Amino acid sequence: MSLAGVRGRFPALRSRKGQAVPAYLDSACMSLVPRDVLDAMEEYYRDYPGCAGRSLHRFAEQVSHRFEAARDGFAKFLGAPDRNGIVFVRNATEALNVVGQGIDWQRGDRVLVTDQEHNSNLVLWQRLARERGIQLVTLPLPDDGSFDSDAYEQEVARGVRLVSVFQTSNLDGRSLPVQEVVERAHAHGAEVLLDGCQAAPHAPVDLAKLGADYYALSAHKMLGPTGTGILAGRLESLAKLRPLLLGGETVEWSTLTDHALRPPPHRFEAGLQNYAGVLGAHAGIQFLERTGRDEIAAHDRALNRRVTQALSGEPRLRVLGPPDADRRPSIFAFSVNGVDPHDGALFLDAGHTVFVRSGMHCVHSWYQKHGLTGNLRASFYLYNTTRDADRLVAGVRQLIEQMPGAAAAS
């Protein structure tokens, strides 16, 4: 599928009477949904609204077949070594919790994170530190987007049970050298959990080659519906986890006094599943595959490069992360001196119908450490156009010129 024909498949970008079509630049928070995903979800409820793996009638058989086909689809999409290492969850937050709450922690076990993690990959470990006695180790990341391999090596060499880090940052778009992260951790006996939310939607992932023990993602950032996500893991690693929930579909057998768990992935998929959501998420990744993830990654870079170059001469504008747009291809995070980020976002919406996110982007710890109240973040995806990029540039320039306090703070 050509990128030129993609935009028309997204109902949210249709023309509305008396309203401008938005320049939607908030895909790092939640992507838009193509008609293909909506059709897949409606088809389930309309044509075969049954329960997978339970009844034997034709509705149940059809949804069972499609639910497992979605598992195969995600295994292929992520390059996972085994389809049974694909667990359906509600989102990446749940996936991270399945791992964190499922490990048999010993007091003093160390977990390493960076100082730029999403709250979902931070507060979990803080709670476990209080409740289970683990030690949370934070690796600072340089502001220029580089990675201090020596500092990382020193920390894992001291003994770490788990390394839990992002692959691509939702704050500034930088990516970590995750192959190196995994290899160094494994060399010292540590497991690795990767937050892939901002990486998997934009470029190919090969988990078999990468070798990470666990990989978490949310489908709502990759054209899928809300409330659907994936925990991908090595079977031997998943088999050691204590399930977060127990109930229907998780056991091989039960008596009034005992039970035996099914092997992964089913032991982690308790109760009736979000079948429509999973089938919609599968349709979303099929859409991405037809479009081409290499093409999407190149498209993201081109748009970010265009915006970065156009605004590079604005002295009152500060861009977070690497100065080179190619090193933060899907995200352009910025602040304007003297302008509250929420005011800036409302200005871009009201004056230019440009939708960006403002605030601390669920990385409160980083902003608190740097004494900042937040910033603006534009994020690019396959349905964005050069016109969207140019509308952002025009809006930011007008923001700098007109917002009270901007000139005085320069």
Q: What is the DSSP letter of 403?
A: S
Cα–Cα distance, 323 to 202 (Å, whole number): 20
Asked whether the beta carbons of 315 and 400 are under 8 A apart, the reply is no
Cα–Cα distance, 360 to 374 (Å, whole number): 5
Nearest alpha-carbon partner for 242 in 215, 218, 221, 261: 261
Give the Å distances, CA to CA, from 382 to 10, 176, 293.
Answer: 11, 22, 9
Give the β-pairing of 354-355 and 357-359: unpaired
Residues designated catalytic: 362
Give the Å distances, CA to CA, from 131 to 105, 107, 126, 199.
Answer: 10, 10, 9, 31
Tokens of 131: 């409740």
Cα–Cα distance, 137 to 155 (Å, whole number): 8
Nearest alpha-carbon partner for 23 in 8, 13, 9, 33: 13
Q: Is 191 helix (H, G, I), strand (E, B) or coil?
A: strand
Nearest alpha-carbon partner for 194 in 156, 151, 162, 226: 162
The CA angle 312-379-322, to the nearest 5 degrees, is 45
In DSSP terms, 87 is beta-bridged to 231
CA atoms within 13 A on the CB side of 386: 5
Cα–Cα distance, 226 to 218 (Å, whole number): 8
